[in-house]
Amino acid sequence: MGVVNVTPDSFSDGGRWLDPAAAIAHGHALVAEGAAILDIGGESTRPGAAPVPAAEEAARVIPVIASLAGAGVLLSIDTTKASVAEAALDAGATYVNDVTALRSDPDLVGLVAARGCTCCLMHMQGEPRTMQDAPRYTDVVDDVRAFLEQRVAFAVAHGVAEDRIQIDPGIGFGKTTEHNLQLLARLDELVALGFPVVVGTSRKSFLGRITGRADPADRLPGTIASTVLAYARGAQVFRVHDVAPARDALLVAAATLRAHGA
């Protein structure tokens, strides 16, 4: 899953793809690098990010989605708002990636059910503006698993087909470095829920804290390491900024595991 941030303030590439033409070109480049999904978002969810009005968010992403609709890959709208998701689905998206797991907008679950699109339900403690203010858990993996089970049950009860649901532990969303590492180390406990697991570690700050890399652009080796480890533990979808190197790493990991009979 290649990231297309049509925002001025995303943590690692804010402003770089804000112009629709630049975002469209970037999307095509990620497809050429091997992306199977493009995740297109018009509102940053970095720690401390401020909300964006729905009309402004839609104005950022809809031209990009409409232009990429013929790119031959799945298009995902990264939003928490039903009105933005509906416009994106009308423009050619078939996947809704909601960092609030259908909690933010009461109309979103009905839209996802009615349109039969795939959705990703992600765990986040708090909200982007406050999520890194001393996050606490009893046991982060048990707590995240229980939350995701509850949100899956909510989605299914409102008509979303089980085979259209994916889950995301929300690496970096209301978690300390140790929380993130526990989730990665015990990812198989989330895989056991039976839904495709999406993992997004790309360029995130916990990788910088481990490696000493302050610039997000310098965190590609850490991204690859965490992505490969997540794959080995059963994750199926990997949300990354740097598609080509992540794809190569995953191809080598997959070939090695096959050779070992895994």
Q: What does the alpha-carbon distance between residue 252 and residue 121 come to, in Å, rounded to a whole number?
A: 29
Q: Are strands 165-168 and 198-199 parallel, antiparallel or unpaired?
A: unpaired
Q: Distance between terminal CA atoms of the chain?
A: 24
pLDDT at 154 over 60: yes
pLDDT at 118 over 80: yes
List Cβ neighbours of 181 (8 Å cut-off, separation of 6 or more). Answer: 206
pLDDT for 124 equals: 92
Kindly state the average pLDDT of the residues 8-32: 80
Share of the chain above pLDDT 70, in %: 92
Q: What does the alpha-carbon distance between residue 74 and residue 1 come to, in Å, rounded to a whole number?
A: 9
Question: Cβ atoms within 10 A of the Cβ of 126, count?
Answer: 14
The dihedral of CA 97, 102, 107, 109: what is its sign?
A: positive
pLDDT at 13 over 80: no
pLDDT for 206 equals: 96
pLDDT for 133 equals: 66
Strand-pair partners of 41: 5, 78
CATH number of the CATH domain containing 137: 3.20.20.20
pLDDT for 225 equals: 98
For residue 40, what pLDDT band results from cuts at 50, 70 and 90? very high
pLDDT for 50 equals: 74
pLDDT at 181 over 60: yes
pLDDT digits 0-9 by tens, 189-224: 999 999 999 999 999 999 999 999 999 999 999 999
pLDDT at 90 over 80: yes
93 or 50, which is more confident?
93
Structural domain boundaries, residue 246: 2-259
The DSSP string of the chain is -EEEE--S--TTTTTTT-SHHHHHHHHHHHHHHT-SEEEEESS--STTPPP--HHHHHHHHHHHHHHHTTSSSEEEEE-S-HHHHHHHHHHT--EEEETTSS-S-TTHHHHHHHHT-EEEEE--SS-TTTTTSS---SSHHHHHHHHHHHHHHHHHHTT--GGGEEEE--TTSS--HHHHHHHHHTTHHHHTTSSPBEE--TT-HHHHHHH---SGGG-HHHHHHHHHHHHHTT--EE-BS-HHHHHHHHHHHHHHHHHTT-
pLDDT for 172 equals: 92
Kindly state the average pLDDT of the residues 16-36: 92
106 or 260, which is more confident?
106
pLDDT at 10 over 60: no
Q: What does the alpha-carbon distance between residue 159 and residue 171 come to, in Å, rounded to a whole number?
A: 27
Compute the C-alpha angle 30/173/252, nearest 5°.
40
pLDDT at 131 over 80: no
Q: What does the alpha-carbon distance between residue 150 and residue 155 come to, in Å, rounded to a whole number?
A: 9
Specify the number of domains making up the chain: 1
Q: What does the alpha-carbon distance between residue 96 and residue 86 come to, in Å, rounded to a whole number?
A: 10
Residues designated as active site: 204, 239
Kindly state the average pLDDT of the residues 169-188: 96
